[in-house]
Amino acid sequence: MPSTTFHVDAVLFDMDGTLVDSTAGVEGAWDAFKRSYPGIDVDHILSSSHGVRTVENLRTHCGITDPEELEKEAERFEKAIVTSSTENGRPGIVLLAGVKEAMEELGPARMFPRPSWAICTSGTRMYAKFALECAGVPIPDVLVAAEDVAQGKPCPDPYLLGAQKCAVKPENCVVFEDAPNGVRSGQAAGCKTVGLLTTHTRQKMEACKPDFLVKDMSCVTFKRTDSGVEVTVNVED
């Protein structure tokens, strides 16, 4: 398994599908919303909505256009993710492979004045904090959530803001993403990108051309340095 090591000023993580698995809750939330919006195709939504902000998914798939209604329904949806994640024997919101080891190394470097990693998620701040707490991921000082940006992924806004809040240049950052929209967001921001095969097919992830493509976070190791983070990516042959 060949490996590549490089140094960055900051690591920018996506959350769902990268650090935590909230699939059980998301499926439950869409099933619940089908009762209010019976015309939606849940299977189609689940295959295409990952990595997109909830307000944008609700606008696209449920036809909601009123801004106040969108915000209200987005909050209801994300609460439904939390409540339904453990219903009917579902496993809840859980840590993905390799993340525990990554956080053991990076955890102490999450705080101001010099954070060397951040989370940039399409979820709301309320949901993100709950999901991270459930899975046991330390909450970093730099947490960019859906309401912090005018445009979500695949636009570069989330990762540009993450780099800015870490007081580093985006071109000196690496983005970890499981969704094509997220990889494109990192690329548009000028960051190096690592794609993960945790939620999408290899074909879909290869099509967005991340700099590296790996199975999950267990293929990556981190080492804190005085000026940032040393990242080693192990790519399967």
Entry field: residues in the chain? 237
54-92 as b/e: b if 16+ CB within 10 A: bbbbbbebbebeeeeebbebbeebbebbbebbeeeeeeb
Q: Which of 9, 14, 21, 178 is catalytic?
A: 14
41 carries an active-site annotation:
no
Selected catalytic residue, list 16, 21, 157, 178:
16
Active site residue 178: no
From residue 196, how far is each of 48, 133, 143 by CA, in Å? 16, 22, 20
User: First vs last Cα of the chain: how many Å apart?
Assistant: 6
CA-wise closest residue to 54 among 15, 92, 93, 19: 15
- Given a contact cutoff of 8 angstroms between Cβ atoms, the answer to whether 14 and 200 are in contact is no
Q: How far apart are CA 160 and CA 162, in angstroms?
A: 5
Active site residues: 14, 16
